[in-house]
Structure 1
Amino acid sequence: MIPAARRAVPGAGALPTGTGYAPCHHGEILQGVFLDGGVRRPGLVTLPMAGPGSRAEFVRRPGTAPQSITVVPAGRHKAARAAALAVTECAHAAGLPPCGGDLRLTGDIPVGLGMGSSTSDVIAALRAVADSYAVRMAPGTVARLAVQAETASDPLMLDDGRPVLFAQREGRVLEVLGPALPPLVVVGCTLGGGAPVDTLSLPPDEVHDSDVRAWERLRGLLRRAVSTGDAALVGEVATASARRGQLVLGHPEFDALCAVARRAGAVGVQIAHSGAVAGVLFDPAATALRRRVRRCLHGLRAHGIPTTRTFTTSPALTAKELPDGPARRRGDRPAGPDTARRPARMPAL
């Protein structure tokens, strides 16, 4: 925790206010149980997605109890817990007494699809509290508090763009896989009718040594894919991981999704292992990319699989160069509790 230069707050008597932001992801490329110094640890590698995110504003109210946190929209309990934890950390770092405050969250991440909406809320809240105290919170501290607030956390607090194998229940990086993922074009869609998934209700997996060996093999392949810039190998890893995820999720459309991807000339598919969002992955260097993407979109719709947006993981590929152009947003994220009670929808193309 590093004290930062204090910002001038306009207006006499204005309450100290801070803001924070965090992005989302598009589910996982790889998720399983991996070896860390011989110890089994759950871990994941997320698929980055620019655009949707959570924004937070925190207004400190000096003189109130540190646990007195109000949150809008109501029901964002994980973000409220995160704010209370951050107050204690940041007040100590700033040499100020801890106090409560008002937390307001806005954003456009659909809830319950496995895109890290709750983690995004939590990280935005942590950053807003830190900003209100004019301190900078290190990513490791953000990760630790995020896990305390929500039991498990996605690696959205890491801003350098490097793909990592992340121990979501411990809030730490198991391995940096390389400098950057190979560029991909992703045709997003939702499975299971887009119904939200309560991750806490999923049955626990029984993990055998053969499972760990399979996940470790995929880890090695993904490491090689990153080092060589091999989009096809990323697709192979993501598809294998998604197929293993179906042992728990059991999406009835999964085989159709894979068939559409093969016919369209995609390199593979990926899913959220704790949600309904999925993606068909293309190598942007492939010939006739626009035709491949159009064939994919038509195939998904023919199978009744709702499409969401087409995006790229590479900043070098601009929206104008995408096969179907930039995604159009359809409004703000619906207000609701940490797990939505009705299907959430992504902004559509």
Structure 2
Amino acid sequence: MSPAWKTKALRAAQLATEVCVASGEGPVGGHLELTGDVPLCRGFGSSTSDVLAAVWAVEDALVRPLPVEEIARIAVRAETASDSLMFEGSSVLFAQREGEVIEDFGYRMPVVRVLGFGSRPENEGKGVDTVAFAPAEYDSAEIDLFAELRVMLREAIHGKDVALMGAVASASTDINQRHLPIPRLDGLRAVVRETGALGIQTAHSGDIAGLLYDRDDPDVEARTERGKRLLHDIGIHEQWIFTTGD
């Protein structure tokens, strides 16, 4: 295994091999080498990317394709809490510590332009240890609100309604503020208002966030550039821009 410290990926490869190889077929071995530049512990899905790469490598080597539901279970067994990156064709509500799909929304998320950024000051360090971070314990009001947001998100996905999706993201950010608060949220809300952003999304087990914009808005470039300047003005300098689905 190279690099040797990527033990989650190694565990995933072992588990996938056990599933792929029929009993009595004999021992199977190999060398797994992982390369990539996804930042660690930020909310970018670095460990899930490694785990899935390992599982897919085993699939290819043994010519034994696995159902995506099985891959999800392997990922959770390998890393305790997994992102839902294995579900490539649609958007899902995923129980990240059980490896089960709660709801498949049937379509991918509406396409948006994202002005991403690191939410914490550089002198505070970067990253959150997802496994060590205690899962949030939501109160009854938050659980009820999540149920409402689930309905809204379903409508946003089916109707390709980017404004409604932005509202869901902002509401989720407000809920998360009690559990993993990000600094300067009031200032970020002001940037949303001043630039006409759809909303703000934050990682629930990381330190990254993003302002969401309508990709098809004729003024999207100007709005994004103004957003960059306003983020700089409140001390946020680590930024990146991308369009979902690209």
TM-score normalised by L of structure 2: 0.93
C-alpha RMSD over aligned residues: 1.7
Aligned residues: 243
> 1:163 aligns to what?
91
Matched, 1:301 2:229: no
Ranges in structure 2 where 5+ consecutive residues have no aligned partner: none
In the alignment, structure 1 residue 242 sits paired with structure 2 residue 173: yes
Q: Is 1:83 matched with 2:13?
A: yes
Shift of residue 296, structure 1, vs aligned partner: 0.3
Q: Give the aligned partner of residue 128 of structure 1.
A: 57
Q: Any conservation in 1 of the 2:12–2:55 contact (CA below 8 Å)?
A: yes
Once residues 114 and 288 of structure 1 are traced to their aligned partners in structure 2, the CA distance between those partners, rounded to angstroms, is 29
In 1, Cα distance between the equivalents of 2:99 and 2:33?
25
Post-superposition shift, 1:143? 0.7
**Equivalent residue of 2:178, what SS?**
helix
Provide the identity percentage: 44
CA contact (8 A) 1:195 1:276 kept: yes
1:276 is displaced (CA, Å) by 0.9
Query: In terms of mean alpha carbon deviation, does 297-306 or 252-261 score higher?
Result: 252-261
Aligned partner of 2:198 in structure 1 is 267
CA–CA distance in 2 between the matches of 1:99 and 1:237?
Answer: 47
Counterpart of 1:277, as a letter, is I
Deviation at 1:218, TM superposition (A): 0.6
**Higher share in helix:** 2
Which residue does the alignment assign to 1:115? 44
Give the whole-Å Cα distance in 2 for the aligned partners of 1:181 and 1:289.
Answer: 19
* Gap regions ≥5 residues in structure 1: 1-70, 316-349
Partner Cα separation in structure 1 for residue 67 and residue 245 of structure 2 = 26
Bigger radius of gyration: 1
Q: Measure the CA separation in 2 of the matches of 1:137 and 1:104.
A: 21
1:269 shift after superposition: 0.6
**CA apart distance, 1:259:** 1.6
Cα deviation code 1:292-335 (max 9, x no counterpart): 011001111111213432111144xxxxxxxxxxxxxxxxxxxx
Residues 163 and 181, structure 1, Cα contact 8 Å, conserved in 2 = yes
- SS at 2:22's partner residue? helix
- 1:99-158 C-alpha deviation (Å, 9 max, x unpaired): 333211111211111111101100110111121112112211111111111112111111
Matching residue within 162, 171, 183 for 1:231:
162
Match for residue 179 of structure 1 among 107, 124, 137: 107
Tell whether the 8 Å contact from 2:142 to 2:175 is kept in structure 1 after alignment.
Answer: no
Distance 2:86 2:142 in 1: 29
For residues 203 and 197 of structure 2, the distance between their equivalents in structure 1, rounded to whole angstroms, comes to: 18
Which string of whole-angstrom CA distances, capped at 9 and with x for unpartnered residues, describes residues 169-225 of structure 1?
121211122422222000111111361101233344333322211100011111111
What is the letter of the counterpart of residue 47 of structure 2?
A: S
Alignment partners' CA distance in 1, 2:134 and 2:12: 26
Contact persistence 1:300–1:307 (CA under 8 A): no
